[in-house]
Structure 1
């Protein structure tokens, strides 16, 4: 007799990490990682903490919490941390929804959304994107029922790179009941340069049922250390701390986050370089014939539909490892100029009428 397990879990798709390059010489542009190595000051801060790894870290992530609260002019009671924003999102889902409850999100969006919702025992409600790859907020509002407990808005959206405007989100919030929490997932906010975009913290200040997710993984380049946070209503943040994994944010991650906040000016220069490369890559894609390519993230999205497998095979042959979503498209991370040049060669090689 087999050990009894939750039947629903065995039916869940496993979250897939971006393909690793190994020794192939290919460029890994499949995981939205920062292409630059850690800053020297951040590396030194981590090294200085190595002699204390036999001790538990601050479970409250106290120093970083105070820095974030000061930066956004919120109470420390509004800030909750976890091992990356995806772990904080898991906290939010577990604290907000369970069996019989519904969680609404756009689709396609972040791949972990439906997985985490089902792990919590809740029901995912995926609402199709518009034809131009954006959140269909009116349709998401139409999907709200008495069972809705949580709505996720990924801005900019992963993997399409499209953003939600402030006007669109205000109109949406007017239709959301105040007992339903809206989470603005801003994992890629540092790369978003469109001034029409909704800004999560502005909505947190205006509406009592908004939380914002941020991460140190992308712009700050700490993906390997896992630290992210939510800015949320006080009662929500308190519940996140209740369901959080004890000591989930390591001392090394906390030191690295503080050092990164201290080095903000230097990191901003790197972010500007990534944005400049994104602009160059998008312009080159359009010039070569790829239609619809646009993004406010540190990645680009190619909608290839049923041609996705063929295009991905060309990319692999050309030494580019992208994130392929069969039947839908490919997401390619913005890397260094050299990596991006090779991607543009691959994109040109893959371009056919069927691929656009």
Structure 2
């Protein structure tokens, strides 16, 4: 048998959210944007179709220039990849290897431990607090001489909780400057918490901070795969060294530019999603659910041992959520129609005892 790394054979495969297929169910399992692409974005993609025989700009030059100008950073600080998860993989590969450790909150984005182990490093998950937030004191206590990178997901996926600016400043005061802190802001556009840490502010202030952004969520380009890091120059340079050559397609680059041009329209859509999040959260609480605040485009139901039963009710009611057996369910905010059906399912799933 051909030799394969034993570690890889033991890894769980990342699982995509359950697809609806022809069932008529609503897929609220993948935190996708519920709106169809803007016409200006699809036009930009169509205009590039007659050039797909050519390689894209490997440096993602035009989008890099736009992002650098927006955040007042040098172009050398910006590195792109096929979605922010791929850029995070670059960050881990550039920072950590065998014998090194990567710290992150848990539960958080399920790709974190997988990516760390693929790089040959050791994942160090730190349990969330009782109110579903990062336990930054425990994360700081976990730092050792082997720690190379720390991921702070803000807002956190799947719980939606935020790290405040004051908390992150206090945390960074305890992190050695040779340890890279990555602030994963995949859901930053939906964040309405005035006390929340804003990644770019910390990048400008601290020499060991990188920020992750994506075009998948608020911009609705999940199917085209484009995201980026804003990182210290030496780090961003190494990201380009470990990146897959030509990983960001020309179509993705055209769509990203068109999306940046259409932000006034996109902000209206984001505001609508946030308004629906507020409405659904209030309705859940009114029906008897205990749900923590969320600053993402999703809500987290901490159902514990009841998760599989609740998920079965959801599926029977035509709602496909992201279930983490024994822990809880994450439900994406969709259209008003989809959200209304979810609320019906949530009422049907409510156990006699308070959830």
User: What's the counterpart of residue 68 of structure 2?
Assistant: 69
Matched, 1:199 2:185: no
- 1:286 Cα deviation from its structure 2 partner: 0.6
CA root-mean-square deviation = 0.6
Please tell me whether the aligned partners of residues 311 and 355 of structure 1 are also in contact (alpha carbons under 8 angstroms). Answer: no
What is the alpha-carbon distance in structure 1 between the residues aligned to residue 307 and residue 45 of structure 2? 41
User: What's the counterpart of residue 145 of structure 1?
Assistant: 144
User: What's the counterpart of residue 154 of structure 2?
Assistant: 155
Please tell me whether the aligned partners of residues 84 and 226 of structure 1 are also in contact (alpha carbons under 8 angstroms). Answer: yes
Please tell me whether the aligned partners of residues 101 and 121 of structure 2 are also in contact (alpha carbons under 8 angstroms). Answer: yes
Matched, 1:51 2:50: yes
User: What's the counterpart of residue 3 of structure 1?
Assistant: 2
User: What's the counterpart of residue 119 of structure 1?
Assistant: 118
Query: 3-state DSSP class of the match of 2:56?
Result: coil
Please tell me whether the aligned partners of residues 59 and 249 of structure 1 are also in contact (alpha carbons under 8 angstroms). Answer: yes
Any residues of structure 2 matched to 1:96-111 within 5 Å, and which? 96-111=95-110
Query: 3-state DSSP class of the match of 1:153?
Result: strand
User: What's the counterpart of residue 189 of structure 2?
Assistant: 190
Question: TM-score if structure 2 supplies the norm length?
Answer: 0.99
Deviations 1:299-353 (A, max 9, x none): 0000000000000000000000000000000000000000000000000000014
Deviations 1:259-311 (A, max 9, x none): 00000000000000000000000000110111133200000000000000000
User: What's the counterpart of residue 316 of structure 1?
Assistant: 315
- 1:218 Cα deviation from its structure 2 partner: 0.0
Structure 1 segments (4+ residues) deviating >6 Å: none
Please tell me whether the aligned partners of residues 180 and 209 of structure 1 are also in contact (alpha carbons under 8 angstroms). Answer: yes
Deviations 1:71-110 (A, max 9, x none): 0010000000000000000000000000000000000000
Query: 3-state DSSP class of the match of 2:220?
Result: coil
What is the alpha-carbon distance in structure 1 between the residues aligned to residue 191 and residue 353 of structure 2? 30
User: What's the counterpart of residue 326 of structure 2?
Assistant: 327
Please tell me whether the aligned partners of residues 96 and 148 of structure 2 are also in contact (alpha carbons under 8 angstroms). Answer: yes
What is the alpha-carbon distance in structure 1 between the residues aligned to residue 212 and residue 275 of structure 2? 25
User: What's the counterpart of residue 297 of structure 1?
Assistant: 296
Any residues of structure 2 matched to 1:72-87 within 5 Å, and which? 72-87=71-86
User: What's the counterpart of residue 246 of structure 2?
Assistant: 247
Gaps of 5+ in 1: none
What is the alpha-carbon distance in structure 2 between the residues aligned to residue 353 and residue 144 of structure 1? 43
Please tell me whether the aligned partners of residues 308 and 355 of structure 1 are also in contact (alpha carbons under 8 angstroms). Answer: no
Number of aligned residues: 355
What is the alpha-carbon distance in structure 1 between the residues aligned to residue 249 and residue 290 of structure 2? 44
User: What's the counterpart of residue 131 of structure 1?
Assistant: 130
Please tell me whether the aligned partners of residues 310 and 349 of structure 2 are also in contact (alpha carbons under 8 angstroms). Answer: yes
User: What's the counterpart of residue 222 of structure 1?
Assistant: 221
Deviations 1:12-60 (A, max 9, x none): 0000000000000000000000000000000000000000000000000
Please tell me whether the aligned partners of residues 307 and 326 of structure 2 are also in contact (alpha carbons under 8 angstroms). Answer: yes
What is the alpha-carbon distance in structure 1 between the residues aligned to residue 186 and residue 289 of structure 2? 26
- 1:354 Cα deviation from its structure 2 partner: 4.9
Please tell me whether the aligned partners of residues 24 and 318 of structure 2 are also in contact (alpha carbons under 8 angstroms). Answer: yes
What is the alpha-carbon distance in structure 2 between the residues aligned to residue 104 and residue 353 of structure 1? 38
User: What's the counterpart of residue 305 of structure 2?
Assistant: 306
Question: TM-score if structure 1 supplies the norm length?
Answer: 0.99
Query: 3-state DSSP class of the match of 1:116?
Result: helix
What is the alpha-carbon distance in structure 1 between the residues aligned to residue 350 and residue 201 of structure 2? 41
Matched, 1:235 2:201: no
What is the alpha-carbon distance in structure 1 between the residues aligned to residue 93 and residue 37 of structure 2? 33
What is the alpha-carbon distance in structure 2 between the residues aligned to residue 167 and residue 348 of structure 1? 37
Residues 350 and 147 (structure 1 numbering): CA distance in 2 closer, same or farther, change over 3 Å? same
What is the alpha-carbon distance in structure 1 between the residues aligned to residue 294 and residue 41 of structure 2? 29
What is the alpha-carbon distance in structure 2 between the residues aligned to residue 83 and residue 4 of structure 1? 29
What is the alpha-carbon distance in structure 1 between the residues aligned to residue 303 and residue 314 of structure 2? 13
User: What's the counterpart of residue 30 of structure 1?
Assistant: 29
